[in-house]
Amino acid sequence: MPISVFDLFKIGVGPSSSHTVGPMMAAFKFTAALRDKQVLGQASRLEVHLYGSLSATGIGHGTDHAIIMGLLGERPDAIDPSIITPEIATLKETRRLALDRQVDIEFVWERDMIFHEESLPHHPNAMKLCAFDQDGRALLENTYYSVGGGFVVDQSQVDAKLEDMDTAKIPFDFNSAEELLAICKRENMSISQLMLENEKTWRGEQEVRNELWRIWQVMCECIDNGLTHEGVLPGGLNVKRRARQLHQRLIAAEQNTCLIATTFSAMEWVNIFALAVNEENAAGGRMVTAPTNGAAGIIPAVLHYYMKFQDGACERNVVDFLLAAGAIGILCKKNASISGAEVGCQGEVGSACAMAAAGLAEVMGATPEQVENAAEIGLEHNLGLTCDPVGGLVQVPCIERNAIATIKAINAAQMALRGDGTHFISLDKVIRTMRDTGRDMLDKYKETSKGGLAVNAIEC
Ligand code: SF4
């Protein structure tokens, strides 16, 4: 099934694409299905069942709150994040839920929001939604799987072995980096040009450019918000926001004539951009999956770095960067996973690092082979990375991990640009290794908060 760059870069809310954005979208779809079946008005009670990783770390990721928002008829790309906390408080107090903002039903949190220890067979991120009429008869029941990056499939799609109902035919379909490079060579195209031609399957060229520019604007707003907000992040770990203070210190230091612009200060800028995005994500703010929420700081930080430090950087570069990054995200998703619950953090931060390295190499004038090399370096050095968020919150180690990965991505692009594109291990082999390593990884390292830092951090 073809994947669009807009499937990877989706406007949403924090803190998690698989645990917040996906579940909200699933609940929104369920509500729409009740409407389509013309049974919305008969609904009297609802049950929400959470399984596997959605149950284990759902509270820390705001999964329960996101589902309620979807049941209210809110979409992750349109919701005002500031309404979530007060709406949930009101619902818990009144025990009333305005389904689709139309039908007032009873919702008793302790009874109707049900956390199950077990996982469902298809995917660790599963949820079941059931609506009943006033006599307790089922009106609609569906199981949804949040498969990473905000992608959602329901039981019927799983049964039909269709992860996506999109059957569009794209002109340059590719399932491996080898195929991607062969098409680029045959058609004498860059990776971003090839991706643009594919995107034209769904939208006109100008619309693709405008939409990618809009994605970039939301990324920039997210950075700005992260540089403005201060205080302690929600969730109970008492993690302090750092981006604002570090930003102010850096500006002051740069005004000091003793400090000249060095590679070191450029690195500080990149760190701050990544911290800003991930702090905003952890606080439940508006942001863009890139390709997930947990790893959302890497691509905006690297692109911001390019736009800030590269003379003549312009809108066209933003579009090319995101298109080339998207090609690598598609390969990771098709051949391994971008979900921490499936393959650990290598699938989230590793994929984002590879994507950012590829995007940067592309706009720095790399050949397709050098872009592939940059992505390969970016991913290779994140292999084996586990997902072990402390307290089930996307804060520790996630926030700093994004900053570290931005530096890796820039380094990977630089190393690839110094070479001629030939290298020892192909990107395809590294992606395959990520898939196999993820398969061998114990579940406690796959977004369950039952292993790694999640258990050791609270020892004292
Ligand atoms: S450890 Fe990595 S995969 Fe897990 S929640 Fe944090 S950023 Fe996401």
Is ligand 1 within 6 A of the CB of residue 342?
no
Tokens representing 245 are 């203070």
- For the stretch 107-138, pLDDT in tens is 999 999 999 999 999 999 999 999 999 999 99
Q: Are 26 and 70 in contact, with CB atoms under 8 Å apart?
A: yes
Pick the atom of ligand 1 nearest to 293's CA: 8
Mean pLDDT of the chain: 95
SS3 49: strand
Statement to judge: residues 27 and 147 lie in one domain: yes
Contacts of 278 (CB under 8 A, 6+ apart): 226, 296, 297, 394, 398, 399, 402, 403
- 345 CB less than 6 Å from ligand 1? yes
- Does residue 207 sit in the same domain as residue 70? no
Say whether both 407 and 332 belong to one domain: yes
Boundary-marking domain end, from 105, 133, 159: 159
CA of 454 to the centre of ligand 1 (A): 11
For ligand 1, whether the C-beta of 338 sits within 6 Å is no
Q: How far is the CA of 14 from the centre of ligand 1 (A)?
A: 13
Asked if residue 226 and residue 105 are part of one domain, the reply reads no
Decide: 87 in ligand 1 pocket, CB within 6 A.
no
Give the number of domains in the chain.
2
Peptide bond between residue 76 and the one before it cis (omega within 30 degrees of 0): no
Which tokens belong to 208? Answer: 């693709």
User: Ligand 1 mean position to 294 CA, how many Å?
Assistant: 5
What pLDDT is stored for residue 407 in this prediction?
97
Does any ligand 1 atom lie closer than 6 A to the CB of residue 405? no
Number of residues assigned to the chain? 460
Is there a single domain that holds both residue 262 and residue 392? yes
Q: What is the pTM of this model?
A: 0.92
Our answer on whether the CB atom of 394 is closer than 6 Å to any ligand 1 atom is yes
Assess if residue 30 is contained within a domain. Answer: yes
30 pLDDT tier (thresholds 50, 70, 90): very high
Nearest CA owner, ligand 1 atom 3:
345
Q: Which atom of ligand 1 is nearest to the CA of 292?
A: 8
Closest CA to 20 of 293, 250, 246, 254: 293
> Which of 393, 395, 398, 406 to mutate to test ligand 1, by most ligand atoms within 8 A of the CB atom?
398
The verdict on the CB of residue 454 being under 6 Å from ligand 1 is no
Instruction: Provide the β-strand partners of residue 127.
Output: 50, 144
Ligand 1 atom 1 nearest Cα? 387
pLDDT of residue 261: 57
Q: Facing residues of 48 across strands?
A: 113, 129
Give the DSSP letter string of 135-162: TS-EEEEEEEEEEETTEEEEHHHHHTT-
Alpha-carbon distance 104 to 224, whole Å? 38
- Please state, for a pLDDT cut of 90, what percent of the chain lies above it: 91
447 Cα nearest atom in ligand 1: 4
Same domain, 64 and 146: yes
Residue 394 CA, ligand 1 centroid: distance in Å: 6
- Residue 7 falls inside a structural domain: no
Residue after which a domain boundary falls, among 159, 191, 216: 159
- The arithmetic mean of pLDDT across residues 127-150, rounded, is 96
Could you give the CA distance from residue 308 to residue 448 in angstroms, rounded to a whole number? 38
Q: What gap in Å lies between CA 232 and CA 240, rounded to an integer?
A: 4
Task: Give me ligand 1 centre to Cα 392, in Å.
Answer: 9
Tell me, in angstroms, the distance from the centre of ligand 1 to residue 44's CA. 37
Question: What's the pLDDT score for residue 460?
Answer: 44
Q: Are residues 46 and 189 in the same domain?
A: no
Residue partners of 206: CB distance under 8 A and separation at least 6: none
Does residue 163 have a pLDDT over 90? no
Domain of residue 348 covers 177-456
Q: Which residues of 228-249 are buried (b: 16+ CB within 10 A; e: fewer)?
A: ebeeebbbebebebbbbebbee
Considering 130, 159, 188, which residue would you say is the last residue of a domain? 159
| Beta strands in 172-261, from DSSP E residues, in sequence order | none
Does 80 map to a domain? yes
CATH number of the domain residue 155 falls in: 3.30.1330.90
Distant-in-sequence contacts of 257-266, Cβ < 8 A, 24+ apart: 266/305, 266/309
Q: Which amino acid is at 409?
A: A
- In a domain, residue 448? The reply is yes
State how far the Cα of 131 lies from the Cα of 39, in Å rounded to an integer: 9
- 91-111 pLDDT per residue, tens: 999 999 999 999 999 999 999
Backbone phi, psi, residue 255, to 5° = -75, -20
Please report, for residues 1, 140, 244, 247, 360, the alpha-carbon distance to residue 227 in angstroms, rounded to integers and kept in the order given. Answer: 39, 44, 4, 7, 23
Note whether 89 and 215 are same-domain residues. no
Ligand 1 atom 6, closest CA: 398
What's the CA-to-centroid distance between 360 and ligand 1, angstroms?
23
Ligand 1 centre distance from Cα of residue 109 (Å): 27
Gap between the Cα atoms of 233 and 32, Å rounded: 33
Q: Ligand 1 pocket test: which of 387, 402, 404, 446 has the largest number of ligand atoms within 8 Å of its C-beta? A: 387
* pLDDT tier at 212, thresholds 50, 70, 90: very high
Residues 135, 261, single domain; the answer is no
Answer yes or no: is 114 within a domain: yes
> Which atom of ligand 1 has the smallest separation from the CA of 348?
3
| 220 and 149 housed in the same domain | no
pLDDT of residue 264: 73
Query: pLDDT tens digits, residue range 251-273?
Result: 998 887 655 556 678 899 999 99
Report d(CA 283, CA 13) in Å as an integer: 9
Of 144, 202, 242, 236, the residue nearest 458 (C-alpha): 236
Q: What is the average pLDDT across 2-15?
A: 96
Ligand 1 close to Cβ of residue 353 (< 6 A): no
Query: Per-residue pLDDT for 189 more than 60?
Result: yes
Ligand 1 pocket, mutate which of 446, 447, 450 (most atoms under 8 A from CB): 447
Angle at alpha carbon of residue 302, lines to 453 and 205, rounded to 5°: 125
Q: Is the CB of 343 under 6 A from ligand 1?
A: no
- Picking from 311, 310, 312, 314, the residue whose alpha carbon sits closest to that of residue 302 is 310
Distance 297 CA to ligand 1 centre (A): 12
Peptide bond preceding 291 in cis form (omega within 30 of 0): yes
- Residue of 55, 40, 1, 74 whose CA lies nearest to 286: 74
- Shared domain for 89 and 207, answered yes or no, is no
- 396 Cα–ligand 1 center, Å: 9
pLDDT band at 165 (very low <50, low <70, confident <90, very high): low
Task: Give 415-451 pLDDT, tens digit per residue.
Answer: 999 999 999 999 999 999 999 999 999 999 998 889 9
Q: Looking at the structure, do residues 120 and 223 belong to the same domain, yes or no?
A: no
pLDDT, one tens digit per residue, over 297-356 is 999 999 999 999 999 999 999 999 999 999 999 999 999 999 999 999 999 999 999 999
pLDDT of residue 166: 65
pLDDT for the residue 262? 64
Check pLDDT > 80 for residue 402. yes
